[in-house]
Amino acid sequence: MKMTKIAAAISFSLVAGTAMAAEPSVDVYGSLRLALTNDDSVGATSSENKFSRFGVKSSVDLGNGLTGLARFEYGLDSVQGANPTTRLAFIGIKGDFGTVTHGSQGAIYQKYVRGPYFSNASDSLRPFTSRQDGITQYATKGDNYTFMAAVQTEGKDGADIDSYSVGGDFNAGDLKIQAAAVFDNEGEDKGTLLGARAWYSIDAVKLSAFVDMASENFNTKTKNICGGESTTIVGAYASYKTGAHQFHGRVASNDCDDSGDLQSVKGEYVNYLSKNMRVWASVESLDTVRDEGEAKLISELGVRYDF
């Protein structure tokens, strides 16, 4: 019912709008992220791209309190001759009712529960993709909360809706609570992924804890998480920042019902050279075999420049 009212409000406002809309604003942005990475299980150091990207976003005043939105973002590689890859491509409209968008967008689950803590924008134990195609998404916010809901209609596989997602957060002073859920609607097995994350700030210290729970028939997990098994991931994070210097770390454990556990411990130092540029050094101990205590050490020295 609420979505029907939103659609009616949009249609009425567009019909009643002025014939000549304002000129659109266009912003170009980018982020170049490169690192030297050493994996002791391989015994070599490599130069790696860490999710560099280039994008264009635009908005236009449609009148009657409505704003039109559009955004493209491409992933870039530092290798000669590499082709860009689509990260984001969506169009939408914003008003007093909230914001409605459609296209390739960031996943709600990633935004609220498992957004990256570290400079290289990746996480070794992550239960869901960071972006999704064919997403129709609704977002709204209040003084101390945000809420989002989405449906995915990507595949032409006989199912109108491939998945449903919801998420939100609530701020209470120094405490923030976030939660999200994904309901898989593809095929005969329709599993669920539930997650929550909390943040607490004490001056220069930030603390966070998270939990992810995927049912055994949730079939859209990332490749480093067990498929066909109930999966739980728990973790804790702490950060201390003074001036241009940040020290932070995360411990996490992935437990699969039959396959066993994987452990990850990661620490990172970041030096913010300016608002737009930073350098980082990180070390991670990551289990390579479940329940056998075998781990590899991944060291990284990177630089990031945003514009």
Ranges 54-58, 228-232, 242-246: which has the least confidence: 228-232
283 - beta bridge partners?
267, 299
Q: Is residue 16 part of a domain?
A: no
Question: Tokens standing for 17?
Answer: 């709008």
CA 129 to chain centre: 8
Nearest to 172 by CA among 133, 144, 208, 197: 144
Boundaries of domain holding 226: 2-8+21-306
pLDDT at position 289: 74
d(CA 184, CA 164): 7
d(CA 35, CA 37): 6
| Single-letter amino acid, residue 85 | T
Which whole number is the average pLDDT over 143-150? 97
- The DSSP secondary structure of 261-273, one letter per residue, reads EEEEEEEEEEEE-
pLDDT digits (tens, 9 = 90+) for 118-132: 988 888 888 888 888
Q: Is residue 14 part of a domain?
A: no
The residue among 158 and 247 whose pLDDT is bigger is 247
Q: Is residue 194 part of a domain?
A: yes
pLDDT digits (tens, 9 = 90+) for 179-206: 999 998 877 768 899 999 999 999 999 9
Q: Using the structure block, give the residue that is written with the tokens 């020290």.
A: 247
Name the burial class of residue 110, with classes exposed (0-12), middle (13-18) and buried (19+) by CB atoms within 10 angstroms of its CB: buried
Evaluate whether 229 touches 256 at the Cβ level (below 8 Å).
yes
Nearest to 245 by CA among 215, 306, 204, 191: 204
Ranges 13-17, 98-102, 160-164, 274-278: which has the least confidence: 13-17
d(CA 284, CA 137): 35
Sign of the torsion formed by the C-alpha atoms of 117, 119, 124 and 130: positive
Question: Tokens standing for 81?
Answer: 């001759």
Q: What's the domain count of the chain?
A: 1
| CATH code at position 242 | 2.40.160.10
pLDDT at position 157: 55
pLDDT digits (tens, 9 = 90+) for 159-182: 678 889 999 999 999 999 999 999
- Supply the mean pLDDT for the chain: 87
Which band of pLDDT confidence, cut at 50, 70 and 90, is reported for residue 7? low
Q: Is residue 15 part of a domain?
A: no
> What's the Cα-to-Cα distance from 14 to each of 9, 18, 60, 70, 94, rounded to whole Å?
9, 8, 13, 17, 12
SS3 7: helix
Q: Is residue 254 part of a domain?
A: yes
Q: Is residue 218 part of a domain?
A: yes
pLDDT at position 291: 60
pLDDT value at 36 more than 90: yes
Give residues with Cβ within 8 angstroms of 247, minimum separation 6.
239, 240, 241, 267, 268, 269
